[in-house]
Amino acid sequence: MSKADNMLSILWLLKTGKKMTAKQLAEALEMNIRTVYRYIDALCASGVPIISDAGHNGGYSLLQHFNEAPLFFDLGEQKALVHAAAFAQEAGYPFGTDLTRAISKLKRYTNEEQRQRIDRHSIGFEVILPPADPALESVLQELELSVANEHTLSMEYRKKYENDVQPRHIDPYGLVHWRVKWYVIAYCHLRREIRSFRADRIQSISRTESTFQRPAGFSARQFFLTNLLPETDKHEKLISIFIKGKQQAINDLCGHWLLGHALVERSADQAHFRLQEELAHTHLPHFLLPFGKSIAVIEPVFVKERLAAIAKDLLHYYQSS
Q: What is the pLDDT of residue 172?
A: 97
What residues contact residue 318 under an 8 Å CB cut-off, 6+ apart? none
Upper half-sphere CA count for residue 136 (Cβ side, 13 Å):
17
How many angstroms separate the CA atoms of 29 and 66, rounded?
22
The pLDDT averaged over each successive group of 10 residues in the chain (321 residues) is 78 81 89 90 80 83 64 76 91 91 78 80 87 89 95 93 86 93 96 95 96 94 84 68 95 90 92 91 92 94 95 92 77
Which amino acid is located at 266 in the chain? R
What residue type is assigned to position 221 of the chain?
R
Q: Give pLDDT, residue 9.
A: 84
Distances (CA, A) of 45 to 7, 31, 63, 162, 228: 12, 21, 15, 59, 52
pLDDT of the residue at 244:
96
Q: In terms of DSSP bridges, do strands 181-188 and 50-53 run parallel, antiparallel, or are they unpaired?
A: unpaired
DSSP E strand stretches across 161-316: 165-178, 181-188, 193-198, 202-211, 238-245, 263-266, 270-276, 295-299
Q: How far is residue 159's CA from residue 100's CA, in Å, rounded to a whole number?
A: 34
Q: How far is CA 108 from CA 14, 40, 112, in A?
A: 15, 20, 9
pLDDT score of 206: 96
Q: Is residue 69 a contact partner of residue 58, using CB atoms and an 8 Å limit?
A: no
